[in-house]
Amino acid sequence: MRILNLLSLILALLFITTGCATFREDGRATLSKWPPDAPVNKNTIALQVSGNWISNDEQQDVNVDLLENWRKEVFRAYETSGLFSAVKSGTEKSDIYADVKITDKGDFSMFMTILSHIIPIPRKTHDCLIFNTTYKDKNGRLLSTVSKTECVNTWFSVFLFPAMFSNFPETVAKDVLFDLNRSSILEANSKATFNTVSRGEP
């Protein structure tokens, strides 16, 4: 009886102390100077953010709270860039309009997920965040498009409990979202996308 109680206690401790940690893959977004040099004449920009979630090649509904978290990171990147006189939402009147489409494409094993709830064994999920941003001027003319992708791996294991604090999934996801946005902004800026008004266009 004591042995059974001890085994139950050990298993309970394993489940309680099982941690998850997310790690960024190589090939992450390349960032140069941030914030970039600001232009003398700044334009306003309006951001439209939409989300798409694909799990094991099947389309899923995007959680409202998740989409709002994505939206916050998009706005944070544009606001901290220093390139715009104002960062607005949606269809508000603006000099430039950015349509930001975010796709979270993930893969996981249902068998391993079920098994890990029975036996404390390591399991992994793989996610790629795909950013497609389209920039248009106030007349609807296409200025440029930018695409960025970064993938992460999330491990669930008893041995990863200490790593949770430095590689917590939500924290890493925010960093990836912010970096992908910043990289998109830098590439668009290098194409003179944000100089539409200063070029004397109507």
Residue 99 confidence (pLDDT) above 90: yes
Question: pLDDT at position 30, please?
Answer: 67
Q: What is the pLDDT of residue 10?
A: 39
Q: What is the mean pLDDT of residues 137-152?
A: 95
HSE toward the beta carbon, residue 123, CA cutoff 13 A: 17
Find tokens 């998009």 and name the residue. 74
Contact 39, 198 (CB under 8 A): yes
Mean local confidence (pLDDT), 49-55? 93
Give the three-state DSSP class for 95.
coil
- For residue 123, CA distances in Å to 11, 44, 109 come to 17, 46, 8
Q: Which CATH architecture has domain 19-195?
A: 2-Layer Sandwich (3.30)
